[in-house]
Structure 1
Amino acid sequence: MVGKLGLIISFLLLFQAGNSTKTILFYGDSLTAGYGLSSTDEAFPALIEKKLKQQGKPSKVINAGLSGETSAGGLSRLEWVLRQPIDVFVLELGANDGLRGLPLEQTQKNLQSIIDKVKAKYPKAKIVVAGMMVPPNLGPDYTSKFKKIFPELAKKNNATLIPFLLQDVGGNDKLNQTDGIHPNAEGHKVVANNVYKIILPLL
């Protein structure tokens, strides 16, 4: 009897441990996908997963980044990505909209629709919005309004905000590839450290 009880307790502990694993979905463009790196293992989502496991926070990270993705493209493929339950949804889209000078109202509408769909399917999932900026050559009015999109979305949806995804990386030649836009492997380490600090409390 004692032996059976021990087996039951062991099974329950294993079951609870399995259920404690958190699924984090990074949904973005080339920055999330790890464009230009030798492997997605060097991209910041994978680095964050490694750090979480080292800290005893079992997690499953899904890198759903797609190079060149716009907010409209992200909205169109979202349902396919949301086929499995998630605990944290990190939204990293909009940069390509800005680089192409697309209408800001449409970008914000698309991003809001993405958040709405995530909330509708997984009401308990925590939303993280990654803030981005665009080069000043698009004009001060456009760049200023673009930057405001992300904190406004975070506030409206009670989401966690990453003020600027490329903090301490953007504009630093040593941390970026030759295109000056995409972080290199060392740059992704910096991004991972910054984002990790924001995601950890959510778990």
Structure 2
Amino acid sequence: MKTILCYGDSLTWGYIPDGTGRHALNDRWPMVLQAEIGPDVHVVTDGLNGRTTAYDDHLSGFERNGAKTLTTVLGTHFPLDLVIIMLGTNDMKNFICGNAQGTKRGIQRLIEIVRTAPYQMDAQIPEILVISPPALTPIDDTDFQRTFEQGVEQSSLLAGLYKNAAEFADCAFFDAGSVARTSPLDGVHLDADNTRAIGKAIAPIVRGILEI
């Protein structure tokens, strides 16, 4: 059986935009992907609210730096055939990174980690699919505007930068913003229809990568 790891943040965890909780399991994009590709592939979901690509967030009790936790996650779930990374939204906070170019470098670091992790038992290095998250939606909220001071504009640059990084590293790439939009309720998260759209859209890409 082939195994896929989905490594992400609250968009992968399934955060509901109105803040009332978590999407139903069958509405989260990794589980939609699982349903699309069938039972012969095992999809592992590792989504943490607030996770960044490679930047510290000292305001949280959790380790949100994706570069610091990725090796442990890879070691927990190996052997893996494919690692799907969808991160970058939280980098757009002005007290985290706030710069698309810096976030591109964070994605490049995560690719490096997947390629160089100390896999055991002669496990093969997994394939990588990089997904750029949907851009932020501007909303009339003072906290949002202060938190994402330049983030709306910078988030719109991520797709092009991630595509460049993926091509350079010989990874697969998908722009989630081509099928999904962040909610106007909070400007950041995805409603059920939009998170499901990502899972459905990447299924053919995943089948091609895994040759299934």
Tell me if both proteins adopt one fold, taking TM over 0.5 as the criterion: yes
Aligned to 1:86, the other structure's residue is in SS state: coil
Check conservation: 1:167, 1:191, Cα contact below 8 A.
no
Q: Which residue of 2 aligns with 1:182?
A: 189
Structure 2, unaligned stretches of length 5 or more?
A: 17-21, 55-64, 139-148
- Computing the radius of gyration from Cα coordinates, the structure with the larger value is 1
Q: Which stretches of structure 1, 4 residues or longer, exceed 6 Å deviation after superposition? A: none
Give, as a single letter, the amino acid of the residue that structure 2 aligns with 1:168.
V
Which residue does the alignment assign to 2:132? Answer: 131
SS at match of 2:34: helix
More helix by share: 1
Kindly provide the CA deviation profile for residues 90-137 of structure 1, in whole angstroms up to 9, marking residues without a partner as x.
111112112435344432332212111111236531110102334577
Provide the C-alpha distance between the structure 1 equivalents of 2:52 and 2:15, rounded to a whole number of angstroms. Answer: 15
% identical aligned pairs: 26
- What is the Cα deviation at residue 167 of structure 1? 2.5
Q: Contact (CA 8 Å) 2:28, 2:195: kept in 1 or not?
A: yes
CA-atom RMSD, angstroms? Answer: 2.6
TM-score by length of 1: 0.75
* 1:134–1:146 CA contact under 8 A, matched in 2: no
- 1:33 maps onto 2:13 in alignment: yes
1:85 aligns with 2:85: no
Structure 2 residue aligned with 1:7: none
Distance of 1:187 and 1:62 partners within structure 2? 20
Separation in 2, partners of 1:45, 1:141: 27
Distance 2:207 2:106 in 1: 27
**Greater RCO (Cα-Cα under 8 Å, separation 6 or more):** 2
Normalization by structure 2: what TM-score?
0.72
Distance 2:125 2:151 in 1: 39
2:204 to 172, 183, 197: 197
Match of 1:102 in 2: 98
8 Å Cα contact 2:92-2:151 kept in structure 1:
no
Structure 1's unaligned 5+ residue stretches are 1-20
